[in-house]
Amino acid sequence: MDAARARKLADRIQQVVAEMLERRIKDPRLGFVTVTDARVTPDLSDATVYYTVFGSEAERADTAAALESAKGVIRSEVGRQTGLRHTPGLTFVHDPLPDNARHMNDLFALARAKDEEIARQAEGAQFAGEADPYRFEEDLAAEAAEAAGVAEAAGVAEGAGEEEPTGQAGRPVR
């Protein structure tokens, strides 16, 4: 089947289920439910509806039981509003995304706290060596000039004015 058609049907199912839960399903076990997503198989035979519940684990379990008991009414309304010959079977699945997001936020807060602690410890700290231990081109040029100056001074002291005959490329002839 066409993936675009399945996606459009999934969007429509999500809307119908959300409206049904808001207006027509009056089960007292139903908590504060949000329909987050719906997915339909490519052959349009099954639909999975993802939902979240605001509250405790007991409220989640009660909501899951209420959704399971209202599945037939919701499915018949989905069939009526979509106009399909064969209405897809519905499966309700608790969406762990908000729980995962909350866990990630907790981890980010912990990382921020650790970074602040490290920053407090580093405030009065001093470098073990130089502040900037990397070598730059200016430093290399200065070191090369210094080394050349030291080599010239050593050569003058050794030779004391004597020049050696040089050959090709300024190399001494032996």
pLDDT of residue 158: 55
pLDDT of residue 15: 93
Q: What does the alpha-carbon distance between residue 78 and residue 89 come to, in Å, rounded to a whole number?
A: 10
Assign 138 a pLDDT band (cuts: 50, 70, 90).
confident
- β-pairing, 32-40 with 46-54? antiparallel
H and E: helices and strands count for the chain:
5, 3
Q: Which of 57-61, 62-66, 98-102, 117-121 has the lowest mean pLDDT?
A: 98-102
Q: What does the alpha-carbon distance between residue 135 and residue 6 come to, in Å, rounded to a whole number?
A: 61
pLDDT of residue 172: 62
Q: How large a percentage of the chain has pLDDT more than 70?
A: 85
Residue 162 has pLDDT above 60, yes or no: no
Tell me the three state secondary structure of residue 56. coil
